Amino acid sequence: MGNWEDLDFGEPQPRQDNIDKWERAVNDNNPSILTIKDRLRMLRRWPLQDAKYFCNFYVGLTIGELIQKAAGTDDITETEAIIILNTPFGDCIPEDQKEMANQSRWSQNTKKKFHDAFNLVLTEMDAERRARANAEVAFERVKTIRRAELKNFL
């Protein structure tokens, strides 16, 4: 039998200072309270230099170029949509993002504070907001195709 304590997926809740910062940004209606590092964490992105490298490796674009492409169209690949929505490069989760991988275990109050702050950040990141919306559309299209293929398979 394995030792469950060896499975380190981060804490069930984000650090309180992060929660407080999200709440303060929303209450003050001031997204600038959230640093670039905070924003990258909220977007589930690697540090910029790593994100640029991995994005270029997988889709041949920098993360900025991919965001601009997706902001203008939902005609993007599954890989591009996944990078925009989740940025999962293999099974590696940056150390400072492990708490973000546990959102399903967060309390409803914490989830609300996060999503309110996240939406506040997206208000001043128009290209990112449009890219995420288009990536959602593209990803839903992929899921619909996969469901149809699965029906044919069964």
Q: State the Cα–Cα distance between residues 30 and 52, nearest whole angstrom.
A: 28
Closest to 83 measured CA to CA, from 115, 51, 53, 114: 51
Q: State the Cα–Cα distance between residues 86 and 68, nearest whole angstrom.
A: 17
Confirm whether 131 is domain-assigned. Answer: yes
- Average confidence (pLDDT) over 13-30: 93
Confirm whether 2 is domain-assigned. Answer: no
Confirm whether 4 is domain-assigned. Answer: no
Domain interval for residue 142: 10-153
Residue with tokens 């965001």: 67
How many domains does the chain fold into?
A: 1
**pTM given for the model:** 0.74
pLDDT in tens, 114-136: 999 999 999 888 999 999 999 99
Q: State the Cα–Cα distance between residues 20 and 113, nearest whole angstrom.
A: 9
